[in-house]
Structure 1
């Protein structure tokens, strides 16, 4: 007898709740249809379901996403870097307190090397026919950032091998991976025992899956634009998988109902309400500007400068997404102004290295550069704003805090973590760095704002 198994998967929603009403309704309806047909259904999410750009995720500390997953009936989720390193230790440790599903992450430990109580390295799911799956989860290896937040992160590929060696008495293996397409392809090549490998993190889309050796890879892009579906045929007489197929469904092609927009608006309003806490009162409003000097952008630069105790600082003005009005300024105002999950950072450079970085920052093409990723939630880079840096008629006439730069001296440069990943300033990637976590730049901005306007 042939049994049909349906695995539906989502990944990298990033709190794009505008797509969630159609996704949740589609999954709930599919579950009912398959159950009526006597077919088994498994729902999995592969991480980065949350993203603090959305006020509800910020205000609820990620907890508001759990009821959404509960309602649909997810079986298991793994975490992505947005769950893992954009929340404090306590916030992540309590995020899934009300979860009615398993959180599966093989390579996350406490500082003492124990698994958190809410985490499992893998689960076993036994179907009515007796066929048993092992479902494993692994997440991206941001070791240093997890360490700063009080966690221990182990290499995911090493941990996967240990888990695969440990698993016994199963008929099939599903891997939930938040590692990215290249690692997923390597895993499929090296571990043929994995039957289904569902992946995220790099936002890749595999419309009809991809077969590598014995593994079927599936991936559904980003932001809930697609829903992934893997269908397996099981020969129940031998408990073996005899056929595998993968497809995706485009969310915008699904039926939209009148109540959807109300739900979307309600989630936004709930977030605004949670963030409706006064930070400061402003006698006068503050203006932001991407291409001209502005008090808001300078205040952010000053905040990072003071927080990191830097000798000098630079940031990009495109971080500031608007103005602050006169009157009561709430957490929601500041969240809207600086929605990025970006942390302050201090980088140690020699004068010669610092001079080269500042020279690169003067590239006339930078301000208009459209920037995507690295935690940035704005549109363009904008002008570079400096603190403690004076540039004369040429880069050779460069002063730090009023003194000519010394090429062999070490300096402490304050900036944002997104500039340390090497895309714009290679010297910053190689240099010694101190990341400040869990504070985002909006947190240090609020701190600076209070100092000046309380």
Structure 2
């Protein structure tokens, strides 16, 4: 390498989802790499692409994400963007204060607060000047879950609209533009096709592991899987005379059993867990008798939750899967930790309007073996299996089939036969309205999401009101 050339290394993580067991490995790896490249007089940067926070983990739940920020501070992250787990599983107040102690910039170019301004805790972009004088511009964008952000008090912009002028603004000030994207690979690919001035997209959200990255037109794309399984590494060779990047090398490093751990970080996580426990051990109710739960049959716990769900949403009908409760509750004092343990999912209540024939289709699909035994991953579900569908206000007569499916022979709604042409209001789980699990629920045009309450909050409320 001649004197007019140098190298910068950009390390990145995404979608940790509070898998803190991986964090001591990630910390040790980054410390090792920083020390190695410092000896070679090569700059290093580290960025996180969001969904670091996940309230299904008790440490995150007990500290409302503050433990995640403390760990990012300690590791020396240069910049982050947010994912949907930061953006729409926290209340307006909680997200507004999440980064109060952060000593790094939070880059979210496409979010606006209640006042119509950019939130005080965000920046649209950050310019980093390397030791060589070469300037890299970092821009952050997150997935536009429009209705959810609006429900919480935020306005989220279409990232393509936001970037149309912003990329030009940043490009005029820097030598190289990097987009920190929590949009998902398909959207990153569209961005690469649409923006000539974005040199590198470091992505997240869809959990793709791009071991060697990919290139579309002139833009490189990197993404490093999920749950801290890998750390991504983008190596840029810089021509300082022409102020250009002449070579891009992308790789991912597995954080497996061969990777050493950082003892200080492991101790820090242990201390943070003790602090979290103090909050989660708060008593909330005394149960006079155990509350049993089961995944493949009706149980006291799921019936209570189904009743609470329809009451909370103001409907006469509700539907939820038994697997939403991982286990039951014992007799005696019940704490926040107990409720979180049995219902850790960041899943919200939802009310929707559905026609009778669509409700029939949904109920029939719910009773297939495929859906009952589905080990769902994603959509906020953090359980093992969907399990039996539980109803309140709806009676379903079944005939067991040799295939393991259950044939629906009769459906009654509030004691009357289901009317295929009537409109019904149904309380259910928001995850059933995503994707194609239940097409009729997904396609319903009339949906109300109740936020920031999770299903576990409804369970707590119902138990307290009994």
TM-score bin, normalised by smaller chain: over 0.9
Of 150-159 and 259-268, more deviation after overlay is shown by: 259-268
Select the residue among 393, 411, 434 that pairs with 1:398: 411
Aligned equivalent of 1:423, options 436, 449, 459: 436
1:251 and 1:422 map into 2 onto residues whose CA distance is 31
- Give the structure 1 partner of residue 345 of structure 2: 340
Match of 1:119 in 2: 122
Aligned to 1:169: 173
Gaps of 5+ in 2: 399-406
Equivalent residue for 2:27, pick from 24, 27, 36: 24
- Report the CA distance shift for 1:10/1:202 in structure 2 as closer, same or farther (over 3 A): same
Work out which of the residue numbers 301, 312, 325 in structure 2 matches 1:296: 301
Is structure 2 residue 97 aligned with structure 1 residue 128? no
* Aligned with residue 458 of structure 2, among 431, 434, 444: 444
Equivalent pair of 2:168/2:197 in contact (CA under 8 Å): no
Matched residue, 1:178: 182
1:280 aligns with 2:293: no
> Per the alignment, in what secondary structure is the counterpart of residue 138 of structure 1?
strand
Cα distance in 2 for partners of 1:424, 1:387 equals 20
Match of 1:408 among 396, 421, 424: 421
5+ residue gaps, structure 1, are none
**Stretches (4+) displaced over 6 A:** 257-260
1:242 to 242, 246, 260: 246
Q: Distance in 2 between matches of 1:266 and 1:294?
A: 37
| Residues 74 and 101 in structure 1, CA contact (< 8 A), matched pair in contact too | yes
Contact 1:54–1:271, Cα closer than 8 Å, also in 2: no
Partner of 1:40: 43
Higher mean alpha-carbon deviation, 291-300 vs 26-35, is at 26-35
> Is the contact between residue 28 and residue 261 of structure 2 (CA under 8 Å) also seen in structure 1?
no
Contact 1:56–1:274 (CA<8 Å) still a contact in 2?
Answer: no
- 3-state secondary structure, aligned to 1:42: strand
Q: Matched residue of 1:205: which SS?
A: coil
Q: Which residue of 1 aligns with 2:81?
A: 78
1:261 and 1:80 map into 2 onto residues whose CA distance is: 25
Shift of 1:309: 1.2
Structure-1 separation of matches of 2:196 and 2:104: 27
Answer with 369-378 or 440-449: which moved more: 369-378
Give 1:39-438 correspondences, 5 Å limit. Answer: 39-167=42-170, 168-252=172-256, 253-256=258-261, 265-392=270-397, 395=408, 397-431=410-444, 432-438=446-452
8 A contact 2:366–2:372 mirrored in 1: no
Give the TM-score, by structure 2 length.
0.93
Q: How many residues were matched structurally?
A: 452
